Amino acid sequence: MTKSNGIILLVDDEPWLSEALAATLESKGFSCVFATDMTAGIKALEENSVAALVTDIMMPPGSQFPHVNANEVGFHFIDYVQKHWRGLPIVCLSVIGDHAKIHLLTRKGIRYLRKGETPLSTAVEVITAVALGRKVRI
């Protein structure tokens, strides 16, 4: 299978969830790179030309951001990415239940998918659409 659709960066400290997502995305022509904390996520963005970022919220900050609270890392990461990689499509895959925070994310143009509840097929469809610059109709 040629991986012509581009690179998806999956940032999550629970890699077993990324495994199923990556297997399906790769079968649809994407390449996947992985990172398990914010520091590694930024490094992966610097080293790869990424078509879309999929990130969790609760994860370790890594060595470059030791003072960022692990429960909030994803928010800081998204802000950082939006500042330095303007226009990069971002999908947030998390279990946060705080509607105000989810609303804030969506206002920033982030697609929010709830972990454990969103079917894999839906997640793949959303990620594929944002990576290819298509409108998401879910």
Partner 1 sequence: MIEDGTKRQIDALEAENAALKEELEESRRSTTQYLQNVAHQLTAPLGAIKWSIEALKDEAVPIQRKGKLLSSIYSQGTILVHLIKNFSLMSNLEADHELGQFRDKPERVDPLRLAINLANDFQPQAAEGGKKIYVNENSFKEIFDGTSILVVKNLIAQALSNLLENAVKYSNLRTAIYIEAQEVKLPEDNELFLAISVRSIGIAISSHEIKKLHNRGFRGSTAKQKIPAGTGIGLYIAKRIMDLHEGLVLVRTNGNETIVLLCFPQSRVQ
Nearest approach, Cβ of residue 86 and partner 1 (Å): 28
* Strands of 90-94's sheet in order across: 30-35, 6-11, 50-55, 90-94, 111-114
Least spacing, CB of residue 134 vs partner 1, in Å = 19
Query: Closest Cα partner for 35 from 49, 21, 51, 15?
Result: 15
User: Phi/psi class of residue 62: alpha, beta or left (left: φ > 0; alpha: ψ in -120 to 50)?
Assistant: left
Nearer to partner 1, 60 or 85 (CB): 60
Rg of the chain on CA atoms, in Å: 14
In terms of CB distance, is 87 or 116 closer to partner 1? 116
Site for partner 1, rule CB under 8 A: 13-17, 19-21, 23-24, 26-28, 58-61, 66, 70-71, 73, 95, 97, 115-117, 119-121, 123
CB of 58 to partner 1, least distance (A): 4
